[in-house]
Amino acid sequence: MDYLKYWTPVAVLAASIAGLVAGGDWVWVGIGTFPVLALLDTIVGADYSQRRMSNGTLANLPIWICSIGPLLQFFVLAWAVTAHDLSGWQMAGAVMGVAWMGVVPLVPASHELYHMRGPLPRFVGHYVQLCYLDCTRDIGHVINHHIDVATEEDGDTAKRGMGLYAFTWGSLIHSTVFAQKMEGLALRKKGLSAWNIRHRGYRALLALAVFHVAIFAVGGWVAVGLAFAAQVVARLWVESFNYFQHYGLIRLKGAPIGRRHVWNHLGWFSRTVAFEITNHADHHLNSYQVFHKLTPHREGILMPSVFVCFLAALIPPVWHELIIKPALKRWDTEYATPEERARAARQNAAAGWPDWQNDTGIEIGKAATVGI
């Protein structure tokens, strides 16, 4: 049964592609899965079960489909432009649906591939990221995020008080610049120029050019424009989703990484549709651990559905007051070390937030060793 759960994102992807093939207002099916998933994830609730899957080939089959499928969907979009007389409204729906599939399920599926040790899955994991204009994203993810998670050096960890919109643009710039800088440093260590032809950035640009030439061959300039729009929207979505899994958490540079240093979203659909990327505390302790062997962190602070968190963050007061402040208050007082609490207090003050560490009746440090 556990194997079948991870065919849920395959079904979502198939529905999105079928909507493009059908044409008309059916092209909205893809983006329409977002509110449906948000509702179902909230109704079904948290899932703390440990997966029992021993066949790696069967487990990884939906990973491969959900990595390659969203890239192929761009060509279905290009075909739909010529096959259907799409209105502006319908083009907008098609772009949103293709962009959404370029985030979920593509991001967690490609993430799983480029964390594998084999050259083929890592190659595919790199280049399917064309769907959101970032074939070098894995560089920042592995070298910056996994090493610096929850520290001030981590571009994927939003400081307290920061809104979704400011974070998204800042994260986009940081991840792009960091990846190119690290690639240049790696080339220098080999005695080459930082902008030697072996720089992965050149290959990323070449892949993007080839991709859009192919899109043009199928659907012309209109298809190219819609595809690029979908890539831009997907990229902004990709950056924004880090906001919810790391917001406000604090770790001192060089300190051990614990399960408490990431937020988990353990809804049934959050886990299955995102291939456990929302159950990623264990992933930060062992980045080579396969998705279906990650253990849900029962002792952690339960967060709402990741879909609900995204919708809430679109309205910053809702996100701050109803979701993240109560969670961070518990984190500061129950999970943080004294050093982390001191830094948290400074961030809270800078954000204009209450000094809840000194509230009457607060029992500091009740669970400070959890997840270390």
Q: Mind listing the pLDDT tens digit for each residue in 176-204?
A: 999 999 999 999 999 999 999 999 999 99
**CB of 332 closer than 8 Å to CB of 357:** yes
160: in domain: yes
Q: In total, how many domains does the chain have? A: 1
pLDDT at 362 over 70: no
Q: What is the pTM of this model?
A: 0.94
Instruction: State what percent of residues in the chain have pLDDT above 90.
Output: 84
336: in domain: no
200: in domain: yes
Question: Whole-angstrom Cα distance, residue 125 to residue 135?
Answer: 9
Q: Taking the CB of residue 86, how many other CB atoms lie within 10 A of it?
A: 22
Residue 1 has a pLDDT of 82
Residue 97 has a pLDDT of 98
At CB < 8 A and 24+ separation, what contacts does 178-182 make? 178/139, 178/140, 178/143, 178/144, 179/134, 179/136, 179/137, 179/139, 179/140, 180/136, 182/139, 182/140, 182/143, 182/144
342: in domain: no
Q: Indicate the pLDDT class of residue 280, thresholds 50, 70 and 90.
A: confident
Instruction: State what percent of residues in the chain have pLDDT above 70.
Output: 97
Q: Indicate the pLDDT class of residue 63, thresholds 50, 70 and 90.
A: very high
Q: Indicate the pLDDT class of residue 283, thresholds 50, 70 and 90.
A: confident
Q: Indicate the pLDDT class of residue 367, thresholds 50, 70 and 90.
A: very low
Q: Taking the CB of residue 211, how many other CB atoms lie within 10 A of it?
A: 21
326: in domain: no
Q: Estimate the crossing angle of helix 8-22 against helix 88-101, to 10 degrees.
A: 160
195: in domain: yes
pLDDT at 371 over 50: no
Question: Whole-angstrom Cα distance, residue 88 to residue 71?
Answer: 23
Q: Mind listing the pLDDT tens digit for each residue in 3-44?
A: 999 999 999 999 999 999 999 999 999 999 999 999 999 999
Question: Whole-angstrom Cα distance, residue 314 to residue 168?
Answer: 12
pLDDT at 370 over 70: no
**CB of 16 closer than 8 Å to CB of 100:** yes
Q: Mind listing the pLDDT tens digit for each residue in 304-358?
A: 999 999 999 999 999 999 999 999 999 999 999 999 999 999 999 999 999 998 8
Give the range of the structural domain holding residue 47, as residue numbers without chain letter: 2-308
**CB of 13 closer than 8 Å to CB of 69:** yes
Number of residues that this document lists for the chain: 372
At CB < 8 A and 24+ separation, what contacts does 325-328 make? 325/353, 327/263, 327/301, 327/303, 328/160, 328/248
Residue 282 has a pLDDT of 82
4-8, 43-47, 284-288, range with the lowest pLDDT: 284-288
